[in-house]
Chain A
Amino acid sequence: MTVSVDQGGGQPAEAAVPLVRLVGLTKTFGQLVACDHVSLDVKPGEVHALLGENGAGKSTLMRCLFGLAKPDDGWAEIAGKRVAISSPGDAIRAGLGMVTQEFSLVGPMTVTENVLLARSNWGPLDVAGGRQAVVAAAQRLGVEVDPDARVEDLSVGERQRVEILKALVGDCRLLILDEPTAVLTPQDSAALFTAVRRLVAQGMGVLLISHKLREVLDIANRISVLRHGRLTATVDLATEQVEPADLARLMVGAEALASPEFVEATGLDVIHPHQDGLFLKTEVDTGAHPVPVLAVKDLRVDGEARPLLQIDHLEVGSGEIVGVAGVSGNGQAELGAVLCAIKAPDAGTISLGGKDVTALGPAGRFEAGLGRILEDRKASIAPTLSVEHTLVLEDIEAFKRGPFLNRHRIRRHAHKAIERYAIKASPTDPVGTLSGGNMQKVLLARALSRRPRAIVASQPTRGLDVGACEFVHDQLKACAAGGAGVLLISEDLDEILLLADTIVVLYEGRIAATLARDDADMATLGLLMAGAQPEAATASAASAAPAAGAPSAAGEKEVPA
């Protein structure tokens, strides 16, 4: 039993020697060069951020460093010495800790058991010692965690803390965080960065992957940018001044962002649905009462103690985008699951375009005009299925000739989708090998190519790079402009404020407030999401932000009225 908590700060003078250095690291998957002779280093007390588009090879690079993938060439040096890391066990012993992009926790086990997993030998478990180590590491991180809670009962933010604790218990000197904030609410992200600052102050090094340029600029000491597997730049923020736009340029290429070539290359244009004839033109009623394409009445999903979801009435009109905001765990997941036929509601009705579809499964609802983007991307795909088959899976009837699949049409359809959505893959690639962003584009293409009348999009841009986010947003806007109704469930308030016409706030499974876009701002939404009464929220938000120009700060500071 070797549970120990390293207090850090053991290496003040030798700051010049990097904690970890990667030298010429190369990793290929068949023809694809995911990492191409990448060299970078991390010094003690530094946050080194890694940026790059979806599929640039960031995760692959980190997985090679941590022993989860075997590099084809290149090596790692730790504290100046070349080491062979052939498994995560080696990496952990060498003082590395990693929080992977998809969490690596055992759901049915407790926090302590998860932490002990990486630290114990084969003999008797020292559960009490493990519990103490968890508490000590939590203190070091500045967070609170119940060591005996079962991981699957925890929220996403809490799980992430457990991941970090797991990495910290023991002698961790370099922490790798792969898109830690992609699944976090703004509050949780802020807490995470406070913790990261603490760790760095104790002399640890942190390698951070993120798509959120602002937070990277905020926390990083140095930034490295990967493009198509190659390192294009390493910027030292202490000596150089950079703007988010500069970083975006480094990520996508030297050609200026706004140039037509960029639009060409990245596919960041909007499909014009009317011209393309891509969407069903439902009666676009520009009057005050748009036709509801999606309506929900008295919907209830029961939980153990109280209903997880209880919605008396919710409508999405044709051409309308309704944003659903809320802190995670307040019923959004259930709402998405129920609407997308993943889960049957315990009571209530769901109708699409006036037709009651409550009893229908996914196929029936697709027929009735539903397009869905599920929250759990991993669960929406069969990893070994090819891209082309994934694209037609929900719509297989339309791609049949007699009882057989029409392979030519499927292939043509795939080529079209790949071109239109700028998916970096070929039709025959297994979807499971695509990077997160490209996988999401495939799912988006699948949902939208059926010309749905009602679209339910759950966290559609989670983990996507800036370009891909913008692309998804444009697509959703285009769908609405084409007469579809969009229900956008998102934890990203910026996204909701950007897209939604109407905003619904969920709190403890109920609709706490329904606001028109023009009545909503960050501060009001933040308060509503935290459970404030609607009138109180608008009042205190107004008093907290008397100057109309600074609404975003109000949510964070408590200013007495």
Chain B
Amino acid sequence: MTQTLAVLTMMLTVATPLVFAGLGEVITERSGVLNLGIEGTMYLGAFVGFLASGALHSAWWGILVAMLAGAAAGALMGLLTVTVGVNQHVAGIGTTLLLVAACNFVSRLKSSGGASEQVPKLSKLFGSTAVIGQYPLTYLALFVVAPVIWWVLRSTGMGLKLRAVGESPEAADAAGVSVPLTRYLALTVGGAFMGLGGAFLTVAMLGSFSLDIVSGRGWVCIALVIFGRWKVWPTVGGALLFGFAEGLEKQLAITTTFASVPNELWLALPYIVVVAALIIWGRGVRYPGAYLKAYKRA
């Protein structure tokens, strides 16, 4: 029983950054831009959030600065893909490489070798009661951010324009919707959520920074979005599935029955689950009509 509760507690915590970043990716991809800069943007968010939290002596300020940094990374993607018209795969991977390398560089400059310092971090609500004792950001993700994004995409003019741009930029343009503006907006807002997802790892969970902090969670989000068919709630569901797998892994790894299974295999489990889920449910999906397509008016 306590083990089950521990798995569920873990699930919600682990899912939180994926919900933020995954929904950020949903927003950008719905506008027709695949943002492979997500891994780098989360990394940037984690690192900048950590620095700002330490410098400003407040976890919340750290989170805010991380979101701004994420938005800036989104704007960089906009510059590359919307304004210059670079291939989206190249721009995204380039952005990730650039951001990860830049953060590593600054990180090495600041702390030569030794263990990373501790900065102010968030504490769990409800005194760490099982399952419901979570960081405030977890509540924010599931009960505010997800419903609001769902509502905006579905029921506002902004969401309608965003979806139209992602399905058919020609049609959106002819209807008087500015394709570049909409895509920039999607990329910056989406980037802010990716930065927030990254900051959660350092500022909420650990209070410190390490070089392997993101460890492919951005790529997981890319898979989750396809798995979730660019819809908000299925993507959240995918994040919870990943969280569940990781919680399970942590629990099983410490039970004596499975002691002989190598640790590396346990660490790989959540990722294997995501790939399996993608293979089972992610086939034959209908991509947004203008996915990966640049648009320029004559």
Interface residues of A (CB under 8 A from B): 1, 29, 63, 66, 68-70, 87-93, 98, 100, 102-109, 113-114, 116-118, 120-125, 127, 166
B156:A123 contact, CB within 8 angstroms:
yes
Task: Provide the bound-state CA to CA distance between A127 and B159, in Å.
Answer: 13
For residue B87, CB closer than 8 A to chain A, the reply is no
Q: Which residues of B contact A125 (CB under 8 A)?
A: 155-157, 159-160
For the complex, is B84 an interface residue (Cβ under 8 Å from A)? Answer: no
Most buried by B among A68, A69, A106, A118: A106
Within 8 A of A (CB), among B150-181: 155-161, 163-164, 167-168, 170-178
Residues of A within 8 A of B173 (CB): 68, 87-88, 104
Query: Does B298 interact with chain A (Cβ within 8 Å)?
Result: yes
Give A240 Cβ to nearest chain B Cβ, in Å: 35
Name the contact of A117 in the complex, choosing from B161, B170, B286, B289 (C-beta under 8 A): B161
Q: Is B110 among interface residues, defined by CB-CB distance under 8 A? A: no
Apart from A102-B170, A124-B157, 13 more pairs, CB < 8 Å = A69-B297, A87-B173, A89-B176, A92-B176, A106-B168, A108-B286, A109-B160, A113-B160, A117-B171, A121-B157, A125-B160, A127-B155, A166-B175
Which A residues lie within 8 Å of B172 (CB)? 106, 117
B149 shortest CB reach to chain A, Å: 15
- Chain A residue numbers with a CB within 8 Å of B160 are 109, 113, 116-117, 120, 125
Size range of the chain B interface in the assembly? 20 to 34
Q: Give the secondary structure class of B's interface.
A: helix
- Interface SS of chain A: helix, strand, loop or mixed? loop
In the complex, what's the smallest C-beta–C-beta distance from A484 to chain B, in angstroms?
37
Residues of A within 8 A of B159 (CB): 125
Partner of B174, one of A100, A107, A120: A100
Chain B residues positioned under 8 Å from A92 (CB to CB): 175-176
CB atoms of B289 and A91 under 8 A apart: no
Is there contact, CB below 8 Å, between B174 and A106? no
* 5 residue pairs, one from A and one from B, having the closest CB atoms: A89-B176, A120-B157, A104-B174, A118-B175, A104-B171
Closest residue to B167 on the A side, CB-wise?
A106
Chain B positions near chain A (C-beta within 8 angstroms): 155-161, 163-164, 167-168, 170-178, 286, 289, 297-298
Cβ-neighbour of B178 out of A89, A108, A124 (below 8 A): A89
Q: How far is the CA of A108 from the CA of B163 in the complex (A)?
A: 10
Provide the bound-state CA to CA distance between A107 and B168, in Å: 8
A-B residue pair count with CB separations less than 8 angstroms? 91
Given contacts A69-B298, A107-B168, A109-B164, contact A122 B158 (CB under 8 A): yes
Whether A104 contacts B170 by the Cβ 8 Å rule is yes
**How far in angstroms is the closest Cβ of chain A from B171?**
4
Measured between C-beta atoms, what is the minimum distance from B158 to chain A in Å?
4
Q: Which of B164, B174, B289, B298 contacts A88 (CB 8 A)?
A: B174
State whether A107 touches B167 (Cβ < 8 A): yes
Question: Is B171's CB under 8 angstroms from A106's CB?
Answer: yes
Q: Which of A87, A103, A105, A123 contacts B176 (CB 8 A)?
A: A87
> What B residues does A103 contact at CB under 8 A?
171
Residue of A nearest to B151 (CB): A124
Cβ contact of A91, chosen from B157, B164, B171, B176, cutoff 8 A: B176
Whether A104 lies near B175 (C-beta < 8 A) is yes
Q: Which of B155, B158, B164, B178 has the most CB of A within 10 A?
A: B164
Residues of chain B lying within 8 A (CB to CB) of residue A90 = 176
Q: Could you tell me if A123 and B157 are in contact, using CB atoms closer than 8 angstroms? A: yes
Is the beta-carbon distance between B157 and A108 smaller than 8 angstroms? no
List chain B residues, Cβ under 8 A from A116. 157, 160
Q: How long is the Cα–Cα vector from A87 to B182 in the complex, in angstroms?
A: 14
Most A CB within 10 A of own CB, among B159, B170, B174, B177: B174
A86 to B137, CA, bound (A): 44
Residue in A69, A117, A122 whose beta carbon sits within 8 Å of that of B156 in the complex: A122
| Closest chain A residue, CB of each to CB of B166 | A106
Contact A108/B167 with A68-B298, A87-B178 known, Cβ cut-off 8 Å: yes
Max chain A CB contacts within 10 Å: which of B158, B175, B177? B175
Q: CA of A374 to CA of B91 in the docked complex: distance in angstroms?
A: 35
The 8 Å CB contact of A109, one of B157, B163, B174, B178, is: B163
Contact status of A106 and B164, CB under 8 A, knowing A68-B298, A122-B157, A125-B155 = yes
Q: Give chain A nearest CB distance to B279 CB in angstroms.
A: 24
Write the chain A residue with the least CB distance to B185: A122
Residues on the A chain within 8 Å of B158, using CB: 122-123
Return A126 CB to nearest CB of chain B, in Å.
Answer: 9
- Give A449 to B175 CA distance when docked, in angstroms: 41
Complex Cα–Cα for A107 and B167 (A): 8
Interface-centre pick from A70, A102, A124 (highest chain B CB count, 10 A): A124
With A69-B297, A104-B168, A104-B170 known as contacts, the answer to whether A88 contacts B175 (CB < 8 A) is yes
- Residues of chain A within 8 A of B174, CB atoms compared: 66, 68, 88, 98, 100, 104
20 A–B pairs (Cβ distance < 8 Å), ordered by A: A66-B174, A68-B173, A68-B297, A69-B297, A90-B176, A92-B176, A104-B170, A104-B171, A106-B168, A106-B172, A106-B289, A107-B289, A108-B286, A108-B289, A117-B160, A117-B171, A117-B172, A118-B175, A120-B160, A122-B157
Contact A122 B170 (CB under 8 A): no
Nearest A residue to B298 via CB reads: A69
- Residue of A108, A117, A122 near B175 (CB, 8 A) is A117
The residue among B170, B172, B298 with the most chain A CB atoms within 10 A of its own CB is B298
Enumerate chain A residues within 8 angstroms of B164, measured Cβ to Cβ: 106, 109, 117
A109 with B175: CB separation less than 8 A: no
The complex places the Cα of A124 from the Cα of B152 at a distance, in Å, of: 8
C-alpha spacing A122/B164, complex, angstroms = 13
B177 to chain A, nearest CB (A): 7
* Residue of B160, B161, B163, B172 ringed by the most chain A CB atoms within 10 A: B160
Q: Which residue of B lies closest to A63 (CB)?
A: B298
Give the residue among A68, A88, A103, A113 with the most B Cβ atoms within 10 A.
A88
Q: How far is the CA of A123 from the CA of B157 in the complex (A)?
A: 5
Provide the residues of chain A in CB contact with B167, threshold 8 Å.
Answer: 106-109
- Decide: A124 and B155 in contact? CB cutoff 8 A: yes
Residue among A100, A122, A123 with the highest chain B CB neighbour number at 10 A: A122
Chain B residues in 8 Å Cβ range of A105: 168, 171
The interface residues of chain A lying within 8 Å CB-to-CB of B175 are 88, 92, 104, 114, 117-118, 166
The distance from the CB of B179 to the nearest CB of chain A, in whole angstroms, is: 10
Point out the residues of chain B lying under 8 angstroms from A68, CB to CB: 173-174, 297-298
